[in-house]
Structure 1
Amino acid sequence: MNDSVPPFRRIAAELAARITAGELLPGDRVPSTRVVMREWGVALATAAKALDLLRQQGLVETHPGAGTVVRAPVHGPRRTPATAPTLTRARITAAAIKLADAEGLDAVTMRRLATDLGTGPMSLYRHLAGKDELVHLMMRRVFGSHPLPAPAPPGWRARLTAVSRIQWAIYRAHPWLPELVSITRPRLIPEAMAHTEWTLAALAGLGLGRAERVREAVTIPAFVRGVALSHAAELQASKDTGLSATEWWQAQEQEIMVHLESGRYPCLSTMDSSAVEDLDGLFEHGLTRHLDGLAARLRLAP
């Protein structure tokens, strides 16, 4: 298509082609304005104009609380229960995880899921009591999809490293999850309970008292979750502001320098933003230092 064509028209034409080709069927959600912004690298106004053009062309329609979906033709086949994939708890759970990963847990509603799955909201209630049960299934599915290694690696340190890295990978892949995990009021998620059992088993026989073992089994995952919460907050901030962490620091540079050059923060002035921008490195640093401390403690254990 000619470069002289406005970007919003090019985007609308590409989406229209997907609809015509059957890649997007009646009832399917079309990319949101944020997704269009990210995939095509355009501004919010351009993304909104592209979707508005599709509405004017009668290809899509917007439903409150459900987003913009492909409009069913006046004459032509519609998705029907007979042709749609069978609705199951597993399929609903998978769709909910996909939605939460893309847009956050707040986006997961029965109405929105029904739209994504091409069915009515009441159909979901034949399989689930409500969102609480769905969230429980989502957590079980996510933890269960990242199994602990079998056989376990030899040595307490290798085992604690393995379980911590698995938890970090889970949280990185599913940023909505850390907010749901609690050390004071834990949900009864068998697949997550297996992580605690694994950690306690790794600490057994090291000469630590029962209370100290329990504190270790709580402290290590609490550290992993804490860094993961920072990761989730950074993702949300990037979405809200449109700025990466590096871009945010650059935007704040002038104000930051006013404070650092005042002479009141001689140690802080030697820092740069790289340490806090690399959360993977921060996680590995914190885990290594904690395990180093535990190793030193074990050498002193009676």
Structure 2
Amino acid sequence: MADMTTGTGEPSRTLALLWRNRDAGAPIEQRRRGPGRRASVDEVVDAAIALADADDLAAVTIRSVAGRVGVSTMSVYTYVPGKAELLDLMVDAVYLSMPRPAWRARTWRKRLERVAETNRALFEAHPWLTEVAVLSRPPLGPGLMAKYEHELAAFDGTGLDDVATDAALAYLLGFVQGHARAARDAARARSDTAMSDADWWAANQPVLERALDPAAYPRAVRVGAAAGEAHGTPWSPEHAWRFGLARTLDGLAALVQR
């Protein structure tokens, strides 16, 4: 899918599809099979998600979705107008599938930790989400609205006003998405080179030793070596997650206390 930005489809058609609104006038907005229809919007969306989960967004084409659903390529357009709307439906569907248990943790910090962990799990289950850019006018489907409502409730009792709560949630989710993207890039590097980080450093050590002169880069060499020795790798996703999440919540704590 060349376009990886949400909200680029025709808004009224996208919203009608997201909410499966039968009154919007177009046959593509029906949720269930009707006469002459061999599939449903949900089956088309599920097929696209499965393809993206297995082989990334590049694998999601109208032809590949049609093949997975078992319909002709052109008939897919009777369910979704195009790839832009399909991407919106895919994102909203995975949001709708997220667990939303009642908040039982007594402290806001524990609740926000859970928000972060749940979103991290979402990115791990659907890595292609790290490639999706969200516009300032995201498609407000049932999945997005349910996710937003649930995550806002984690801030109850913090004393933040509505504007600060919205910004704080965006700040937390921004950290999660940034970490997920970095973790995915690191995994891709290992996969593309068929080498672990340790093997890569061992293979390139002679060149690195000549290039990384301690006299020219005393701090970089010292700190880099200490970090690499501590984590067994130049960058540890787990350490970066724990450290970054703690610092993100520390920043929000200063806001809450104020």
The TM-score normalised by the length of structure 2 is 0.71
Matched, 1:294 2:245: no
Post-superposition shift, 1:221?
Answer: 0.2
Match of 1:63 in 2: none
Matched, 1:262 2:214: yes
Matched, 1:111 2:67: no
Return the alpha-carbon distance in structure 2 between the equivalents of residues 117 and 197 of structure 1. 33
Post-superposition shift, 1:142?
Answer: 1.1
AA matched with 1:269: A
Return the alpha-carbon distance in structure 1 between the equivalents of residues 208 and 141 of structure 2. 44
Match of 1:135 among 87, 94, 109: 87
The 5-angstrom pairing of residues 29-48 of structure 1 reads: none
Match of 2:77 in 1: 125
Q: CA separation of 1:135/1:250 partners in 2, compared to 1, >3 Å: closer, same or farther?
A: farther
AA matched with 2:207: E
Match of 1:154 in 2: 106
AA matched with 1:90: D
Match of 1:226 in 2: 178
The 5-angstrom pairing of residues 1-302 of structure 1 reads: 86-182=38-134, 184=136, 186-263=138-215, 264=217, 265=220, 266-272=222-228, 274=232, 277-299=235-257, 301=258
Return the alpha-carbon distance in structure 2 between the equivalents of residues 276 and 293 of structure 1. 26
Q: CA separation of 1:197/1:248 partners in 2, compared to 1, >3 Å: closer, same or farther?
A: farther
1:36-56 deviation digits (Å, cap 9, x = unpaired): xxxxxxxxxxxxxxxxxxxxx
Post-superposition shift, 1:243?
Answer: 3.1
Return the alpha-carbon distance in structure 2 between the equivalents of residues 221 and 190 of structure 1. 19
Return the alpha-carbon distance in structure 1 between the equivalents of residues 149 and 209 of structure 2. 48
Post-superposition shift, 1:180?
Answer: 1.3
Choose 1 or 2 for highest CA Rg. Answer: 1
AA matched with 1:267: V
Higher relative contact order (CA 8 A, sep 6+): 2
1:69-95 deviation digits (Å, cap 9, x = unpaired): xxxxxxxxxxxxxxxxx5222222222
Q: CA separation of 1:215/1:250 partners in 2, compared to 1, >3 Å: closer, same or farther?
A: farther
Q: Is the 8 A contact 1:181 1:187 kept in 2?
A: no
Q: CA separation of 1:130/1:292 partners in 2, compared to 1, >3 Å: closer, same or farther?
A: same
3-state SS of paired residue (1:154): coil
Query: Tell me, which stretches of 5 or more residues in structure 2 are unaligned?
Result: 1-37
AA matched with 1:286: G
Return the alpha-carbon distance in structure 2 between the equivalents of residues 249 and 166 of structure 1. 33
Q: Is the 8 A contact 1:260 1:269 kept in 2?
A: no
Q: Is the 8 A contact 1:276 1:282 kept in 2?
A: no
The TM-score normalised by the length of structure 1 is 0.62
1:184-209 deviation digits (Å, cap 9, x = unpaired): 55443442343333343333442445
Return the alpha-carbon distance in structure 2 between the equivalents of residues 113 and 230 of structure 1. 29
Post-superposition shift, 1:217?
Answer: 1.6
Post-superposition shift, 1:159?
Answer: 1.6
Q: Is the 8 A contact 1:163 1:195 kept in 2?
A: no
Post-superposition shift, 1:277?
Answer: 4.4
Q: Is the 8 A contact 1:111 1:121 kept in 2?
A: yes
Return the alpha-carbon distance in structure 2 between the equivalents of residues 254 and 189 of structure 1. 54
Q: CA separation of 1:254/1:211 partners in 2, compared to 1, >3 Å: closer, same or farther?
A: farther
Match of 2:8 in 1: none
Name the Cα RMSD after superposition.
2.8
More helix by share: 2
Q: Is the 8 A contact 1:110 1:121 kept in 2?
A: yes
How many residues in Structure 1 have an aligned counterpart in Structure 2?
216
Return the alpha-carbon distance in structure 2 between the equivalents of residues 236 and 268 of structure 1. 22
Q: CA separation of 1:105/1:256 partners in 2, compared to 1, >3 Å: closer, same or farther?
A: same
Post-superposition shift, 1:152?
Answer: 4.5
AA matched with 2:205: E
